[in-house]
Chain A
Amino acid sequence: DAMVIQNPRYQVTQFGKPVTLSCSQTLNHNVMYWYQQKSSQAPKLLFHYYDKDFNNEADTPDNFQSRRPNTSFCFLDIRSPGLGDAAMYLCATSRGTRTEKLFFGSGTQLSVL
Protein backbone atom coordinates (compact mmCIF):
# COMPACT_ATOMS: atom_id res chain seq x y z
CA ASP A 1 0.00 0.00 0.00
CA ALA A 2 2.94 2.31 -0.71
CA MET A 3 1.61 5.79 -1.42
CA VAL A 4 4.68 7.67 -2.66
CA ILE A 5 7.10 5.47 -4.54
CA GLN A 6 10.57 6.47 -5.56
CA ASN A 7 12.74 4.59 -7.99
CA PRO A 8 15.42 3.57 -7.86
CA ARG A 9 16.26 3.28 -4.17
CA TYR A 10 19.97 3.70 -4.93
CA GLN A 11 21.42 5.33 -8.02
CA VAL A 12 25.05 5.54 -9.01
CA THR A 13 26.08 7.85 -11.81
CA GLN A 14 29.28 9.22 -13.21
CA PHE A 15 30.42 12.77 -12.93
CA GLY A 16 28.71 14.75 -15.70
CA LYS A 17 26.42 11.92 -16.85
CA PRO A 18 22.74 12.91 -16.86
CA VAL A 19 20.52 11.05 -14.45
CA THR A 20 16.77 10.92 -13.88
CA LEU A 21 15.05 10.04 -10.64
CA SER A 22 11.38 9.14 -10.62
CA CYS A 23 8.50 9.47 -8.20
CA SER A 24 4.94 8.22 -8.41
CA GLN A 25 1.98 8.63 -6.06
CA THR A 26 -1.31 6.83 -5.52
CA LEU A 27 -2.81 9.57 -3.33
CA ASN A 28 -4.05 11.77 -6.18
CA HIS A 29 -2.50 14.77 -4.45
CA ASN A 30 -2.24 18.09 -6.23
CA VAL A 31 1.22 19.02 -5.05
CA MET A 32 4.49 17.17 -5.57
CA TYR A 33 7.83 18.27 -4.15
CA TRP A 34 11.49 17.42 -4.57
CA TYR A 35 13.83 17.85 -1.63
CA GLN A 36 17.58 17.27 -1.47
CA GLN A 37 19.01 16.03 1.81
CA LYS A 38 22.72 15.67 2.51
CA SER A 39 24.05 13.77 5.47
CA SER A 40 23.00 15.29 8.81
CA GLN A 41 21.43 18.27 7.08
CA ALA A 42 17.89 19.56 6.70
CA PRO A 43 15.90 18.51 3.65
CA LYS A 44 16.29 21.39 1.19
CA LEU A 45 13.40 22.20 -1.11
CA LEU A 46 14.40 22.23 -4.78
CA PHE A 47 11.02 22.83 -6.41
CA HIS A 48 7.39 21.87 -6.31
CA TYR A 49 4.43 21.49 -8.65
CA TYR A 50 0.91 22.56 -7.83
CA ASP A 51 -0.86 20.57 -10.53
CA LYS A 52 1.11 21.63 -13.62
CA ASP A 53 2.20 24.94 -12.10
CA PHE A 54 5.97 24.70 -11.56
CA ASN A 55 7.59 26.58 -8.65
CA ASN A 56 11.36 26.75 -8.57
CA GLU A 57 13.24 27.79 -5.43
CA ALA A 58 15.50 30.78 -6.07
CA ASP A 59 18.68 28.97 -5.07
CA THR A 60 18.04 25.72 -6.96
CA PRO A 61 20.87 25.29 -9.48
CA ASP A 62 19.98 25.27 -13.18
CA ASN A 63 21.52 21.82 -13.31
CA PHE A 64 18.33 20.51 -11.71
CA GLN A 65 15.17 20.24 -13.77
CA SER A 66 11.82 18.62 -13.16
CA ARG A 67 8.92 17.27 -15.18
CA ARG A 68 5.42 16.33 -14.15
CA PRO A 69 3.71 14.68 -17.12
CA ASN A 70 0.56 13.81 -15.16
CA THR A 71 -0.86 13.88 -11.63
CA SER A 72 0.77 10.63 -10.59
CA PHE A 73 4.35 11.04 -11.79
CA CYS A 74 7.14 13.50 -11.26
CA PHE A 75 10.76 13.31 -12.41
CA LEU A 76 13.96 14.96 -11.27
CA ASP A 77 16.59 15.40 -13.96
CA ILE A 78 20.16 16.27 -13.06
CA ARG A 79 21.76 17.35 -16.30
CA SER A 80 25.42 17.20 -15.33
CA PRO A 81 25.86 15.73 -11.85
CA GLY A 82 28.80 16.94 -9.84
CA LEU A 83 30.32 15.37 -6.74
CA GLY A 84 28.44 17.90 -4.64
CA ASP A 85 25.11 16.56 -5.90
CA ALA A 86 25.56 13.25 -4.08
CA ALA A 87 22.66 13.20 -1.62
CA MET A 88 19.35 11.63 -0.74
CA TYR A 89 16.58 12.95 -2.99
CA LEU A 90 13.16 12.92 -1.42
CA CYS A 91 9.86 13.19 -3.23
CA ALA A 92 6.81 14.27 -1.28
CA THR A 93 3.15 15.03 -1.94
CA SER A 94 0.35 17.00 -0.31
CA ARG A 95 -3.25 17.80 -1.17
CA GLY A 96 -2.61 21.54 -1.10
CA THR A 97 0.15 23.90 -0.12
CA ARG A 98 -1.32 25.36 3.06
CA THR A 99 -1.82 23.59 6.37
CA GLU A 100 -1.10 20.29 4.74
CA LYS A 101 1.11 17.54 5.93
CA LEU A 102 3.56 16.02 3.50
CA PHE A 103 3.75 12.37 2.53
CA PHE A 104 7.29 11.34 1.65
CA GLY A 105 8.70 8.51 -0.39
CA SER A 106 11.62 6.46 0.87
CA GLY A 107 14.06 8.52 -1.15
CA THR A 108 16.70 7.83 -3.78
CA GLN A 109 20.29 7.84 -2.56
CA LEU A 110 22.40 9.26 -5.37
CA SER A 111 26.13 8.60 -5.57
CA VAL A 112 28.33 10.42 -8.08
CA LEU A 113 31.63 8.80 -9.02
Chain B
Amino acid sequence: SQKIEQNSEALNIQEGKTATLTCNYTNYSPAYLQWYRQDPGRGPVFLLLIRENEKEKRKERLKVTFDTTLKQSLFHITASQPADSATYLCALQETALIFGKGTTLSVSS
Protein backbone atom coordinates (compact mmCIF):
# COMPACT_ATOMS: atom_id res chain seq x y z
CA SER B 1 0.00 0.00 0.00
CA GLN B 2 0.99 3.60 -0.42
CA LYS B 3 3.28 5.18 2.16
CA ILE B 4 3.54 8.90 2.71
CA GLU B 5 6.67 10.45 4.16
CA GLN B 6 6.85 13.96 5.47
CA ASN B 7 10.50 14.02 6.29
CA SER B 8 10.72 16.98 8.60
CA GLU B 9 8.80 16.58 11.81
CA ALA B 10 9.45 20.19 12.75
CA LEU B 11 10.43 23.31 10.88
CA ASN B 12 11.29 26.59 12.58
CA ILE B 13 11.51 29.78 10.55
CA GLN B 14 11.41 33.53 11.09
CA GLU B 15 8.46 35.68 10.22
CA GLY B 16 8.54 36.90 6.65
CA LYS B 17 10.54 33.97 5.31
CA THR B 18 9.23 31.26 2.99
CA ALA B 19 8.47 27.90 4.55
CA THR B 20 8.91 24.83 2.34
CA LEU B 21 7.47 21.48 3.43
CA THR B 22 8.08 18.19 1.66
CA CYS B 23 5.79 15.23 1.03
CA ASN B 24 7.08 12.05 -0.61
CA TYR B 25 5.10 8.95 -1.50
CA THR B 26 6.41 5.51 -2.29
CA ASN B 27 4.28 3.71 -4.84
CA TYR B 28 2.08 4.68 -7.73
CA SER B 29 1.47 8.33 -8.42
CA PRO B 30 -1.95 9.36 -7.17
CA ALA B 31 -4.35 11.21 -9.41
CA TYR B 32 -4.25 14.08 -6.95
CA LEU B 33 -2.75 15.10 -3.65
CA GLN B 34 -4.14 17.28 -0.88
CA TRP B 35 -2.70 19.45 1.88
CA TYR B 36 -4.37 20.14 5.22
CA ARG B 37 -3.62 22.32 8.21
CA GLN B 38 -4.11 21.00 11.73
CA ASP B 39 -4.00 23.11 14.88
CA PRO B 40 -3.39 21.45 18.27
CA GLY B 41 -6.43 19.57 19.53
CA ARG B 42 -8.45 20.30 16.37
CA GLY B 43 -9.41 18.46 13.21
CA PRO B 44 -7.50 19.05 9.97
CA VAL B 45 -8.69 21.81 7.64
CA PHE B 46 -8.39 21.49 3.86
CA LEU B 47 -6.02 23.92 2.15
CA LEU B 48 -5.21 22.86 -1.41
CA LEU B 49 -5.65 20.02 -3.89
CA ILE B 50 -3.32 19.47 -6.84
CA ARG B 51 -3.91 17.00 -9.67
CA GLU B 52 -1.24 14.90 -11.35
CA ASN B 53 -1.45 16.95 -14.56
CA GLU B 54 -0.93 20.22 -12.65
CA LYS B 55 2.62 21.24 -11.93
CA GLU B 56 1.70 24.01 -9.55
CA LYS B 57 -1.28 25.42 -7.65
CA ARG B 58 -1.53 28.70 -5.77
CA LYS B 59 -3.89 30.15 -3.21
CA GLU B 60 -2.99 33.50 -1.68
CA ARG B 61 0.38 32.96 0.08
CA LEU B 62 0.28 29.20 -0.45
CA LYS B 63 1.83 27.30 -3.34
CA VAL B 64 1.89 23.56 -3.97
CA THR B 65 3.92 21.69 -6.57
CA PHE B 66 3.56 18.08 -7.70
CA ASP B 67 6.37 16.14 -9.35
CA THR B 68 5.27 12.64 -10.32
CA THR B 69 8.79 11.75 -11.49
CA LEU B 70 10.25 12.46 -8.07
CA LYS B 71 7.06 11.23 -6.32
CA GLN B 72 7.07 14.42 -4.36
CA SER B 73 4.94 17.43 -3.50
CA LEU B 74 6.29 20.65 -2.06
CA PHE B 75 4.16 23.04 -0.02
CA HIS B 76 5.30 26.65 0.28
CA ILE B 77 4.08 29.44 2.51
CA THR B 78 5.49 32.79 1.46
CA ALA B 79 5.80 35.80 3.78
CA SER B 80 5.13 33.50 6.72
CA GLN B 81 3.42 34.82 9.86
CA PRO B 82 3.23 33.51 13.43
CA ALA B 83 -0.43 32.63 12.70
CA ASP B 84 0.83 30.09 10.15
CA SER B 85 2.27 28.01 12.99
CA ALA B 86 0.52 24.64 12.83
CA THR B 87 1.00 21.08 11.61
CA TYR B 88 0.63 20.59 7.86
CA LEU B 89 -0.50 17.22 6.58
CA CYS B 90 -0.14 15.77 3.13
CA ALA B 91 -2.82 13.31 1.96
CA LEU B 92 -3.54 11.13 -1.02
CA GLN B 93 -6.21 8.76 -2.18
CA GLU B 94 -6.35 5.01 -1.69
CA THR B 95 -9.73 3.46 -0.85
CA ALA B 96 -10.15 6.73 0.99
CA LEU B 97 -7.81 9.54 1.89
CA ILE B 98 -4.66 8.55 3.79
CA PHE B 99 -2.43 11.05 5.57
CA GLY B 100 1.20 11.63 6.38
CA LYS B 101 2.14 12.40 9.96
CA GLY B 102 2.70 16.01 9.15
CA THR B 103 5.32 18.68 9.61
CA THR B 104 4.94 21.08 12.51
CA LEU B 105 5.79 24.60 11.43
CA SER B 106 6.75 27.25 13.97
CA VAL B 107 7.04 30.84 12.78
CA SER B 108 8.73 33.19 15.21
CA SER B 109 8.34 36.96 15.17
Contact = CB atoms under 8 A, between A and B. Distances in A.
Contacts of A33: 96-97
Contacts, number: 59
B83 to A, nearest CB: 19
Interface residues of A, number: 26
A41 interface: yes
A98 B93 contact: yes
Interface stretch (A11-19, A68-76, A79-87, A101-109): A101-109
Interface residues of B, number: 24
Nearest to B6: A42
Contact of A90 (B43, B93, B96): B43
B91 to A, nearest CB: 8
A57 interface: yes
A106 B51 CA distance: 27
Interface of A: 4, 31, 33, 35, 40-43, 45, 48, 55, 57, 88, 90, 92, 97-99, 101-107, 109
